[in-house]
């Protein structure tokens, strides 16, 4: 997959925050969902747990699935030293460079990307999914396990229930119950897709588990890769 560089990752935290403000204006919050059949990528990353020592390593994994059917089409990963210190709100500067390296190894470009992280539900409206969407120039959705900003009511307990996530009077996402009785996910536009389409796609891609299949498989595989580099993802 060809990816054109957009900017340097070698920035100070102050310069990174300034860049987030600039890039947030380029995020497209509208766009239709891809029409089946399409390829969807799920991505997840893990650190070595040494961030406080300054020698953190990041491992990023990407799986590519076919919709409909969910067949595994491709899977790639990249590992390297963390290019950025641990700073709240600047996660994309730690993980996105490794994601970009992993996506470059894909044999086919995805039509949609789901990230384990925030889209515009971010203090500067440029979370990991939004930042990565700009780099990859693909429709991208943030699917986070926890809230970073905003307030919301409690969604209903049934699968498909969702409520607005609002920050400073602005709707920045939806809190979505993907399975009855499980903790909800925080879904937000990343790039080139509208929020309603993002919610529908996340629910469609999460038929059995809390996490959508693309990010669930990426989550499982990145954990295996941390233990054994030769692991292969399975359903």
Question: What digits encode the pLDDT tens for the residues 129-166?
Answer: 999 999 999 999 999 999 999 999 999 999 999 999 99
What's the mean pLDDT in 8-32? 96
Q: Report phi then psi at 195, rounded to 5.
A: -65, -40
What's the mean pLDDT in 92-119? 96
Quick count: other Cβ atoms within 10 Å of Cβ 7? 12
Q: Which of 174, 162, 187, 178 is nearest to 210 (CA)?
A: 178
Domain locations along the chain: 35-144+189-227
Task: Go through the chain and tell me how many residues it has.
Answer: 235
Q: Provide the pLDDT for residue 204.
A: 97
Q: Provide the pLDDT for residue 47.
A: 82
In the chain, DSSP finds a helix count (H) and a strand count (E) of 5, 8
> How open is the CA angle 64-129-106, to the nearest 5 degrees?
25
Determine the topology of domain 35-144+189-227 in CATH: archaeoglobus fulgidus dsm 4304 fold (3.30.2170)
CA distance 170 to 167: 5
**pTM as predicted:** 0.94
Average pLDDT over the chain reads 93
Q: Detail the DSSP E strand segments found in the chain.
A: 38-47, 57-67, 72-81, 112-115, 140-144, 162-167, 170-176, 185-191
What's the mean pLDDT in 202-206? 98
């Amino acid at each position: 997959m060809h990816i054109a560089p957009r900017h340097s990752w070698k920035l100070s935290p102050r310069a990174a925050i300034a860049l987030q403000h600039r890039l947030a204006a380029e995020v497209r919050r509208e766009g239709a969902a891809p029409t089946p059949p399409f390829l969807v990528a799920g991505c997840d990353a893990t650190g070595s747990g040494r961030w406080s020592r300054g020698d953190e390593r990041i491992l990023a994994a990407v799986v590519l699935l076919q919709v409909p059917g969910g067949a595994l089409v491709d899977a790639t990963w990249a590992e390297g030293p963390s290019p950025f210190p641990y700073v709240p709100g600047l996660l994309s500067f730690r993980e996105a460079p490794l994601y970009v390296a992993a996506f470059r190894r894909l044999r086919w470009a995805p039509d949609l990307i789901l990230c384990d992280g925030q889209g515009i539900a971010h203090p500067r409206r440029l979370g990991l999914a939004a930042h990565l969407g700009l780099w990859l120039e693909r429709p991208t959705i943030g699917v986070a396990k926890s809230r970073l900003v905003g307030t919301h009511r409690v969604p209903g307990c049934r699968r498909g229930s969702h409520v607005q996530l609002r920050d400073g009077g602005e709707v920045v996402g939806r809190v979505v119950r993907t399975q009855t009785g499980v903790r909800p996910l925080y879904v937000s536009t990343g790039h080139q897709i509208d929020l309603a389409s993002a919610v529908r796609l996340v629910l469609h891609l999460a038929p059995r588990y809390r996490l959508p299949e693309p990010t669930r498989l990426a989550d499982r595989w990145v954990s295996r890769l941390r233990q054994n580099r030769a692991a292969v993802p399975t359903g």
